[in-house]
């Protein structure tokens, strides 16, 4: 854990108002679980392209569900804080 300290605490490089959004891996874990769930339904894939197609579809679906206004304001805030 001592060797990974900087990686574990990397969220501190962002402004404090963004810490809550950047320190958690909940979104990634949820996305990985959704991909696992969908691949289990299919079972056996005929080739690598079919896997990429399914994962791409899941990612696109998740992107469309994301509240873009809130995300955009977060990115703008991060961009403006980097100018200081």
- Using one digit for the tens of pLDDT, what is the confidence trace for 23-39? 667 777 888 899 999 99
Structure confidence by residue, pLDDT tens digits, 57-84: 998 888 777 665 566 666 666 666 655 4
This prediction has a pTM of 0.53
Is position 20 within any domain? no
Domain count, the chain: 1
- Residue 50: CB partners within 8 Å, gap ≥ 6? 42
Is position 62 within any domain? yes
Is position 66 within any domain? yes
Structure confidence by residue, pLDDT tens digits, 12-22: 777 777 777 66
Is position 70 within any domain? yes
Is position 60 within any domain? yes
Question: What is the domain extent for residue 45?
Answer: 26-82
Tell me the helix, strand and coil percentages in the chain, rounded to 5.
Answer: 75, 0, 25
Is position 2 within any domain? no
């Amino acid at each position: 854990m001592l060797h990974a300290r900087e990686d574990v605490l990397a969220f501190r490089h962002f402004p404090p108002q963004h810490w809550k959004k950047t320190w958690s891996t909940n979104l990634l874990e949820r996305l990985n679980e959704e991909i696992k769930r969908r691949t289990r339904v299919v079972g056996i894939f005929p080739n690598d392209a079919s896997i990429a197609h399914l994962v791409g579809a899941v990612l696109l679906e998740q992107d469309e569900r994301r509240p873009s206004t809130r995300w955009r304001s977060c990115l703008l805030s991060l961009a403006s804080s980097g100018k200081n």
